[in-house]
Each structure stands twice: as structure tokens, then as C-alpha cells.
Structure 1
Amino acid sequence: MTAREHYLVSLEADHSGRWDRVCQRFELGAPVSATLVGRRSHQMWRLTTDRGSYAIKELDPAATGGDRRWLQDAAELEAAAHIAGVPVARRVFTSDGAAVLPVAPHPTGDVLVAVHHWISDAHLPTRVSGRMVADLGVALARLHGLGMSTRFSQPVGMWEMPTEAELDAVVEEAVARQLVWAAQLHRAKPAIRLIREMLQARHACNYRMIRTHRDVTQHNVVVSKDHLLLLDWDVAGPWSAAEELAATVAEWTEILEDQPRKDLAADLLRGYAAAGGTLPAPEPGLFTTWLVKQVNWTMLLARRSLDASCAQAEPPNDLDHLMRRLRRAPERLPVLLDLLAGNGPGEPG
């Protein structure tokens, strides 16, 4: 049985004893019901007790490595961000301050759970507006204003990328299986090579690292009572404020899509500056680690697609789209630099 199969089997097991333990350790009350509400990289449950409802996230150790110290640091940042006025879902800690609880063994590390208060009216944004991204800019400035120190001197996880040989092996296997995305990944190789060269140059830079969210994408934001909430802090860790701001501009303008929303950049930067954030001088290196993230995420999904045991593989057409986006990433850099400099189109929204 592969590690992935072991994890998925464990999730199908009877959870009744597990919920008793979670409720006891996090002091949630007596469990009444549990409903599976999401299953992708991790598994999400809505747990109802005699005291209320809670979001229980079962963390796949294949994705987290079961690194409790990393997850504890991330949770403490999330709690500090809440106090600083960053809109987040309220985190629940155990009485002794633990943010995650082991609930099942696993070959690559324990299956861990994290707990938040359930937000009944939360939903993904149906339309991204200028006002929304301005509010996001305010939240990001408040987060960066914390300046929480980190034990890392470089952005771990965005500091490495697949070698040429590893990339070739994935392409060859995809071609042999006649997968729909194989040709697109092959065509993306020059872009990936250029990003690898950019990463080598980034290694010589010395941006100041802080503890921050590191994944401020549209997938990690919900709307509740007409306000944004920033979710999914599991990968929070070391990054520079300037690089995260640059990445957020790239993500929220959808710069890699066929019709990017360039007008939103000005609103995002306006909100960030209004809340005391420092706007960086634009330079290509600020986007390097974001580009590395695009490569690493695409390659992770490609490997999952090749893994017959992976029940959560990305649909082939979605992977094909991701690889088309990756191909155009380096050519969009001049546009991104203009947007970060405030030269792109945009009206207050």
C-alpha cells in the first residue's frame, strides 16, 4: 500500500473515537454529528457539538510531512494576525496551546487535525471587485506590519525546483501514456529553464524574511457578511513582504490567464499603502519565488496525475490549462513590473 493509499484508507475508517478525542483535547463539547464537506489536498469536516460548529481539517501528511513545529508556527502567526485586524477564521487551540492534534499514524508522519470555528455564511467570491482587492491590500499590510521573525533565512519550499532530469522524466512518462497535457509540459520547458536561471540569481539576493501567509490566492479567500476572510495558513512561513506583495498582484490580476484583470493592481496597491505597507521598487527578482511556486505546484499535480493510487488527481484538461499558463509566465514579467510600479490601468473600485 502506498503512503497515499494508506492516508485515504485511514480517512474512510470509523471516526467516532477520533471525534471524541478531538472534542476533548480542544474542549469543543460533546460531538453530535460530523459531515465531510471537502476533500482535495486535505480533508475538511463540519463537526457539530453541543456547543457549536467547527471546521476540522485533516492534514494529509504527504503534503505537510507531519511537521508539527511548522504548523504550530503557522497557527501562531494566524492568531497574531487575527489580533492585528487581519480577517481570518478563529483558530482553536488546546488548553496547553497546541494548534494541531495527531489522530492517526501514517508512514510519512501522523495524520494531524486543525480546528477553527465554523463560518456558516462563508462562500467563495462570485466576482472580484476593486473594493475587494483594496481590502485584501489592507489585510496584507497589517500582516506584514507584524514583522514576525522566522528561524529561516530563505523562503523554504520556494527555494528549490525540479531539475532538468526530473522534468524530462515526467514529460517522458506522460508522453508514453499519451496524456493530454504532455505536449504542453514539453512546450513549457524553455519557460521552466528560464525560471530556474532566475532562481539562481535570486539566491544571491538578501531580502528580509518574515513569517507570512505565502498563499494569498483566490482559492484561499472567502466572503462572510460582505467581508473577506483569509484562510488556509498551513503553508505560512518565511518570505519577504515585497515578494509576497508582488505575488499577490500577480495572482489577483490573473496575469497568466488569457484576459488578465490588470485594473485590479492599482486597487490592491492603494489598499496596501493606505494601511501603512511599503511599496517596493519593482524588479524582476521580486517575482522569482512566485514563478517557482507555479512550477512546483504544476509539477506536483503532474506527478499526482501519473500516480495511479492518487484519488485526488487534477483532471487532465485542468492540467493542460495550468501548463499553458506556465508557458506564458516569463513573457508576462514586463507587464507585472509595470503593474507593481503603479503604471497599469485601474480606477478606485
Structure 2
Amino acid sequence: MDPPRTVDRLLATFGVPADVVAVAEVGRAWSNRVWSVRTTRGHYAVKELLNPWGDPLWREWLEEAIRFEQFAVDAGVRSPNLLRTGTGDAVVDLDGRTFRAHEWIEDSRPCPDGSANASIVRAVARDLATMHALGVEPTRQDVFPVPTTATCDGWPDLIGELQQVASPYAHDAERIALEVATIRSWFVRRPDGRMVMSHGDVDQKNLLLANGSTWLVDWDVAAPWLPAEEAMRTAMSLANWTSPVIVDDFLATYFREGGEAFEPDASLLAHDLRISLDWLDRCLRIASGLLPAERHRVAEARQQIDAEMHRLPNHVAIVGDLAR
């Protein structure tokens, strides 16, 4: 972005004609880019959407996600107010780039990493139960990725491709082959059930804390989820995958607030693990030159690989011992 000229034009498109006072890039944003924009009229969060998955239908997916975001906010889920143009559009194209914007939550701070405290856990459980109770289905099912075992099934081929280009990550990919096979075995016995629209990425990085409340942000990947799967992956995330007490507290609150009851099981975390594996596959290909990418994306992919190669085997081990 070229502040303040680009920001001035963008906010004017959203019906906020004002002089820009300050622009600062926000940390913790990886998939997209986010700026804090102060103007003479207010304070806003401006996001440039970058389609990090390279999904050809990402714009249609985004429209479905924004539609659900508004449903959830209207139902009482705390989230920053979304800016729209005079014609009701929440997404704006400017100079070949794509943006959306929200009002800034004043005096907010990011939710700390690590295990969340009880008040955050219970607030998020209530919000998730609220979202699931809405029972919102997308107007188009075809814009969302279909969960399959394709990445698991293709892992031996990925290892071969990495070896062929002498990638330094070939050994890492080979080292977690057993975990990949285990994820597949859990995935194929996922329970059946009705999938409904939900946030899809409720964890510490997408929570803001302000005025004694928890605010949920980053709805860009909202998609259909089996409620039990999302409840389980959210409980584990808020517990930082380390605290059974937090998982129990989250699930107890979720059930009490109207979430449909279920028994924790490894199969309920298979979808979440598979998403992580899909992302790792993509990062391995980018970092090894199998997928073309800009230089900063290659550097980011390498950082993601280092983190996932530590996290994924650890999470698989925990899920394998979930009952205990």
C-alpha cells in the first residue's frame, strides 16, 4: 500500500471520506496483509486479501464467508463492524488489489499465545455454540474445498518430487510419513452429519481482547464445518494442545450453551490435522521450487515448514492418546 493516497481512495470507496493521520502495518498477519489506519473520522483495520491458497474460487468463497460473518454478528457474536460501500459491497478492488475493512476495536490487544484463560474459553465456547445453532448453509457449496485424503495419498509422490529436485526438505517429508498415514486412518472414519457455516479458524491469533470482552476477527475462511469437529479443534487450540482442563471447560460450556453433545474422538480432529497437512504440502512445494512464488512467500513457507514439522508429529501423538 502507498499511504496515505491509496488509503484515502479506499476509505472514500467505503463511504469514509477523511484525511489519513497514521498508517501502520499490523503484526501476526501472514496469509494476508493488515494495516491500522487512523483518520480524522475514526480508526479502521484495512486488509489486503492475497489468496494464499491459490484457490481459483477464493472470491466466491470470500463472499459466502462475509455473508455468514454478518449472520453471526447479527446473532450476537462479538466482531468488529464491517465496512461496506454504498452499494453494499464489503470487498473493494483498487489498482489490481483486493481489500476489505472493519472498524478498529479501540484499546484492544491480541489474545496471548499459549493456553487461554477461563473467561476467554467460555466466551469463545458461547460464540461457537451460537454460530452452530444458526444452521446457516452456503448458497453455493461448490466454492469450498472438498475434504479428501488426496494429500495423504499423494505423500509418497511428494517425497519423490522433493528428492528429484534435491530439496533439503525431502528428509523432513519422509520423516513424518507415518504420521501422514495415521491422519488418513482417522480421516476415513470421520462421523457423518450436517455441516453448517462457521468461522473455521477460531484460535488465539484471531481473537482480540478489549473492555472485558473477546472479539473474533478474520472470517475470510469461514466455511461449512461439522459442528463437533470445529468444537473439538477449537477446544484443543485454546488449550494450546496441552491442558485437558481447558478442553473440558470449553466443551462443558459449549454443550451448556446449546452445542450438540458428542464424545471426543481422534476422528473429530482428523479434518483439522488434514488442513495442516495440506498447508505443509503447499509450503514444501513453494520452498523447494515445485510451486512458483514470490521471494517473500518462499521465506514465509520455510518458516511455516519449521513450525509444522515440530507441531504436526506432536499433535498426532496427542490425538493418538486422546482418551488419556
TM-score under structure 2 length normalisation: 0.85
Residue 263 in structure 1 maps to residue 263 in structure 2: no
Task: Identify if the C-alpha distance between structure 1 residues 20 and 85 changes in structure 2 by more than 3 Å, giving closer, same or farther.
Answer: same
Matches within 5 A, 1:192-211: 192-202=180-190, 206-211=192-197
Matches within 5 A, 1:134-283: 134-150=122-138, 151-152=140-141, 156=145, 158-159=147-148, 161-162=150-151, 163-169=154-160, 171-172=162-163, 176-178=166-168, 182-202=170-190, 206-255=192-241, 260-283=242-265
Residue 82 in structure 1 maps to residue 73 in structure 2: yes
8 Å CA contact 1:161, 1:295 repeated in 2? no
Question: Which residue in the other structure is 1:22 paired with?
Answer: 10
Deviations 1:116-154 (A, max 9, x none): 001232222236212221221111111111111123289
Distance 1:68 1:76 in 2: 12
Distance 1:115 1:132 in 2: 25
Distance 1:324 1:309 in 2: 25
8 Å CA contact 2:207, 2:215 repeated in 1? yes
Residue 102 in structure 1 maps to residue 93 in structure 2: yes
Amino acid in structure 2 at the alignment position of 1:271: T
Match of 1:287 among 269, 272, 275: 269
How far off its partner does 1:155 sit? Answer: 6.6
How far off its partner does 1:290 sit? Answer: 1.0
Q: Which runs of 5+ in 2 are unaligned?
A: none
Deviations 1:275-321 (A, max 9, x none): 11112234433222111112112223333433573314348576334
Distance 1:113 1:133 in 2: 31
RMSD (CA atoms): 2.8
Report % sequence identity: 28
Question: Which residue in the other structure is 2:310 paired with?
Answer: 324
Question: Which residue in the other structure is 2:288 paired with?
Answer: 306
Matches within 5 A, 1:46-65: 46-63=36-53, 65=56
> What is the DSSP-based 3-state SS (H/G/I as helix, E as strand, rest coil) of the residue aligned with 1:46?
strand
Question: Which residue in the other structure is 1:73 paired with?
Answer: 64
TM-score under structure 1 length normalisation: 0.79
- Equivalenced residues, count: 312
How far off its partner does 1:171 sit? Answer: 4.2
How far off its partner does 1:190 sit? Answer: 1.2
Distance 1:158 1:227 in 2: 34
